Structure 1
Amino acid sequence: MKSLEELYKRAIELKNKGMSDKEISTELHLSVNTISWLLSKNIGETKIQDVKIGWRSIGVYGSRIGHIAEIMADIISEEINIDDLDSVLGITINGIPFATFVSDILGKELMVYRPHPSGKEGLFSSNFAGVKGKKIVVIDDVISTGETMKNTINDIKNQGGQVLLCVVLVSKLNIDEISGTRIRSVIRTTMVG
């Protein structure tokens, strides 16, 4: 059995690489609750402060997702000229329901993207619209470290698409742009104290 300090150090390493608590729990063969607890402790010199986002209350009913999507669509309309937009891309898993509704509200194509967990090139689902030559808005639920969004933007550019805007339900970052692309969130968290 590994010591608590060893588990903590490994969890910190994985968190700093942009992995979510769930991905860390899979890697270390521990529960997500254990990882969340472990990362909240001050073991050694480094302490990660984070906010856990639980959006199950929104996710259990399509109508609730639809209401949030209406806000996202309104933000998109405020930020860009909708006539310039071709497609709405949802990042798996939780970005897809929001993107589906936003796509319908705005009358635009739907794309689905699955990021690679290690940061390698992700996968654009061939069951939905293609990327090449398209002007795209990217939708996700939470932006934590920005790595997934950065990789998504880069993969879209590599496939010949252009990202006009990224919209998320919650941003844990205190930035307005990633890879030269504007980021807008419905809610932005900030650590205080």
Structure 2
Amino acid sequence: MKNIENLIQKAVELQSNGLTSRQIADELNVSRDTVTWLLTRAKKDVSTPAPKDISVNWTNIGKNAYRLRNISKVLCDMVLETLEQTDDDVDLIVGIGLSGVPLASLMAEELGTDLAVFHVHYDPADDRNLKGDFSGNFSDVRGKKCVIVDDVITSGSTMMAVIQRLREEDCKPVTIAVLVDKKGAEVISDVPVRALVRIVRVD
């Protein structure tokens, strides 16, 4: 129960800092329904049943550069395995901001590719309306083959938006590499998903 109380406290803190429910969900690696439930529980409304979700906290990896580098190498190994199976190659790693960028940076170095960063934007009036664009401070994505990197896939909506934007720029996503896949997806928008950990509910 202590972990739930910590999540409630963090959700309330993030909301008081002006984050939308979508941004809170991204920060806590939970669904938007879970954020709504956490914020409702903070108001002592215990009548709402808890959503079926799993919170992912990978702070023990993210706070340590040595661990982050080694996890990135494992993800690279999984990407290389996929490229060997598909007889394909890549010349770009695309990190989804914010949490996917450190992993993507290390993977681009390890694989000897360019690096691009995708910034996610939400409509303040409707945070379910996800948009985004590529940072001009990193590599251009046009005409390249890429690996998309993020920390956690929850619903897959962010990943679908990134894939759509890449295709609009004539960039071919070859595979997706993530630490944790909560959706249990083998493929998203015809792009294979390689996850270090895949969570599947059996209830």
TM-score, normalised by the number of residues in structure 1: 0.77
Rounded to whole Å, the distance in 1 between the matches of 2:167 and 2:120 is 14
> Unmatched 5+ residue regions in structure 2?
1-20, 29-34
**Is the alpha carbon distance of 1:60 and 1:124 closer, same or farther for their aligned partners in structure 2, counting shifts above 3 Å?**
same
Residue 35 (structure 1) aligned with residue 45 (structure 2) = no
* RMSD between superposed Cα atoms in Å: 2.8
TM alignment of 1:1-193, pairs within 5 A: 19=22, 21-22=24-25, 34-35=38-39, 43=47, 47-81=50-84, 84-117=89-122, 118=127, 119-193=129-203
**Is the alpha carbon distance of 1:34 and 1:148 closer, same or farther for their aligned partners in structure 2, counting shifts above 3 Å?**
same
Letter in structure 2 aligned against 1:65: L
Letter in structure 2 aligned against 1:166: I
Three-state SS of the structure 2 residue aligned to 1:160 is coil
**Is the alpha carbon distance of 1:36 and 1:182 closer, same or farther for their aligned partners in structure 2, counting shifts above 3 Å?**
farther
**Is the alpha carbon distance of 1:57 and 1:32 closer, same or farther for their aligned partners in structure 2, counting shifts above 3 Å?**
farther
> Unmatched 5+ residue regions in structure 1?
1-17, 26-30
**Is the alpha carbon distance of 1:174 and 1:23 closer, same or farther for their aligned partners in structure 2, counting shifts above 3 Å?**
closer
**Is the alpha carbon distance of 1:154 and 1:79 closer, same or farther for their aligned partners in structure 2, counting shifts above 3 Å?**
same
Shift of 1:138: 0.2
Shift of 1:92: 0.5
**Is the alpha carbon distance of 1:57 and 1:159 closer, same or farther for their aligned partners in structure 2, counting shifts above 3 Å?**
same
**Is the alpha carbon distance of 1:23 and 1:93 closer, same or farther for their aligned partners in structure 2, counting shifts above 3 Å?**
closer
Q: Please list the CA deviations of residues 100-145 of structure 1 after superposition, one character each: whole Å capped at 9, or x if unmatched.
A: 0100000010110012224443110111100110000000000000
Shift of 1:64: 0.8
Q: Which structure dedicates a bigger proportion of its chain to strand?
A: 2
